[in-house]
Amino acid sequence: MKLAFSTLGCPAWSLDEIIHKAAEYGYDGVELRGIQGNFSLYQVHELSPSQRALTKEKFREHHLEIACISTSGLLNSTTPQDKKQNFLEIQSNLKLAADMGCPFIRVFSGQVPSGSTFEEYISTIILNLRDIIPEAENRRVSVLVETHDALVRGKDLASVMDKVPHPLLGALWDINHPFRAGETVPETFRYLGKYLRHVHIKDSVKLDNGSVQLVLPGKGTLPIKETVAVLKEHDYSGYLSFEREKILAS
């Protein structure tokens, strides 16, 4: 397994600072999710088409990989306008990932649209994933769907993956969401193991009012050690990416 951190945890840092700190702290890679508040990474100067080769070389010189490009793209679009907007977001990030030598982009399933049933929502996600596959094939970059939104459980995400089998589609396991939805670590891995490409490590506590509060790793009650043990047991060789959602809490 390799270690990365998400740039959500360092919202004030420039890309140069991110690269230098990641190397200094001994990480293997960085998960890009916004630079200095800009979540449209392909619009960041250092990641613009004319600067990508130079920035890619900076990562290489510091012996770092771009572990994943985490996008804001949604799969729950039901109107042509929303679908076009989300496809453009995903398409732009697939090209960015290809140019930067990054194997994965992350997308969200999104919530169940108003007026839709859960079954209709699942059908929409499957349809939109199928539409994305040709662009993923063109860029040779995998699209990962996170355990998030209305697909927080591994069981539900696997039900989608089972219906769209493709080597360039996979799962991102955020350990907070399935566990807080009542799934155990072994259960989540059983559902997602064959699709698993990337893992978000974080910690949280459940408050008396039933809400969940994110805290620093080791300060909460998420089964981090158990997760790592299960991944080791099954020879997972991808990234554990520390996701501290500092920018979202500020």
Three-state DSSP at 32 gives strand
Provide the terminal-to-terminal Cα distance of the chain, rounded to the nearest Å: 31
Q: Buried (b) or exposed (e) across 116-143, using 16+ Cβ within 10 A?
A: eeeeebbebbbebbeebeebbeebebbb
Closest by CA to 153, choosing from 188, 118, 121, is: 188
pLDDT of residue 208: 87
Domain limits of the chain?
2-249
Domain 2-249 top-level CATH class = alpha beta
Q: What is the pLDDT along the chain (250 residues), one digit of tens a residue?
A: 999 999 999 999 999 999 999 999 999 999 999 999 899 999 999 999 999 999 999 999 999 999 999 999 999 999 999 999 999 999 999 999 999 999 999 999 999 998 899 999 999 999 999 999 999 999 999 999 999 999 999 999 999 999 999 999 999 999 999 999 999 999 999 999 999 999 999 999 999 898 899 999 999 999 999 999 999 999 999 999 999 887 655 4
